[in-house]
Amino acid sequence: MTAMMKGPAIFLAQFLGVEPPFDTLGGLAEWAAGLGYVGVQIPCSPQLIDLTLAAESRDYCDDLRGTLARHGIEITELSTHLQGQLVAVHPAYDALFDGFAPPELRGKPAERQRWAVDQVTLAARASANLGLSAHATFSGALAWPYVYPWPQRPAGLIEEAFAELARRWTPILDAFDEAGVDCAFEVHPGEDVHDGASWERFLAAVDHHPRARLLFDPSHFVLQQLDYLDFIDRYHDRISCFHVKDAEFNPTGRSGVYGGYENWVDRAGRFRSLGDGQVDFSGVFSRMAQYGYAGWAVLEWECALKRAEDGARESAPFIRDHIIRLTERPFDDFAASGIDRASIRSILGLSGDGA
């Protein structure tokens, strides 16, 4: 039987908090199961997982999986979005991204970067110990301040930025290869890998590394005004993770793709709960099924308007109802003629067996 998409699942990052049930992995698992989810994507936060121990101990990982299994929940992937961001940070963003690192590393960009590389590498081994096949992360960014070519970019700047990005990520990708886990980069504004063209540039820089993969999230394509269905057509063979997230883009004469420095509610492009935005999810799920995506469909909830708990409750049945159970036979099988090869050749006006 052909493998099919799994889900619904939910990314826990936006729901992690200090009050029960959102303060522990067990509490979040019980809450998610109560809403109809069967999988959780876990951010590598010390509040949810001891990453070093998970990289070293299969017993610890078995216990972690057991905690979730008691609620009928599986781990879909681990996520190092924050740590991956710190693998490559332009100095213009040092102060802002310092908050992603432990306090003792703030103001120390070189040490912070080494810590980030170690964290993502640990996540590769932890993923293997957890029996996972893919991992979710960000590429980080060295060239993002120069995304718009004004002032004119000096020749070679973008090429060198991606060469350096590849130098930093290739050893990490090798660690993922050793662990037998795909490293899926979320295509996202603010990252050097933010669209198809930048993905191709990065993939070439890492010599088409077999573990360099994609996390597909259509919401970021809406906000950039990219064709997310064509993206699936082009790059489906590299998609290992899937965030189900909605968005809308309503430009005016006052604001468009760049947002005019407005807050999220007032931007032309803004994230919405599933079904409240403009993403053609029937098209997305159809494309993913067409190309045989057998990974998880994971809700990433972000909405400028709706309460998080309401979005999570509504999204489990939304995802479940969009997952396509693949057919095991052609729809017109009932009309099959059942004639043999000799008859087929006769129909075509051909003689002999054609051997």
Can you read off the two tokens belonging to residue 161? Answer: 């930025």
Please state whether the predicted TM-score (pTM) of the whole model is above 0.75: yes
pLDDT, tens only, 266-279: 999 999 999 999 99
Please name which of 230, 200, 229 lies closest in space to residue 214, comparing C-alpha atoms: 200
* The pLDDT value given to residue 34: 98
Task: Report how far residue 40's alpha carbon sits from residue 78's, in angstroms, rounded to the nearest whole number.
Answer: 9
Q: Which residue has the tokens 């216990």?
A: 63
Burial per residue of 43-65, b for 16 or more beta-carbon CB atoms within 10 angstroms, e otherwise:
bbeeebbebeebbeeeebbeebb
pLDDT, tens only, 281-291: 999 999 999 99
- Quote the Cα angle for 76-129-320, to 5°: 10
Query: What average pLDDT does the chain have?
Result: 95
pLDDT, tens only, 60-118: 999 999 999 999 999 999 999 999 999 999 999 999 999 999 999 999 999 999 999 99
* The pLDDT value given to residue 75: 98
Tell me the backbone φ, ψ of residue 248, rounded to 5 degrees. Answer: -140, 155
- Residue 131 or 325, more confident: 131
Domains of the chain: 6-347 (3.20.20.150)
**Residue 335 predicted with pLDDT over 60:** no
Cα 55 off chain centre by: 21
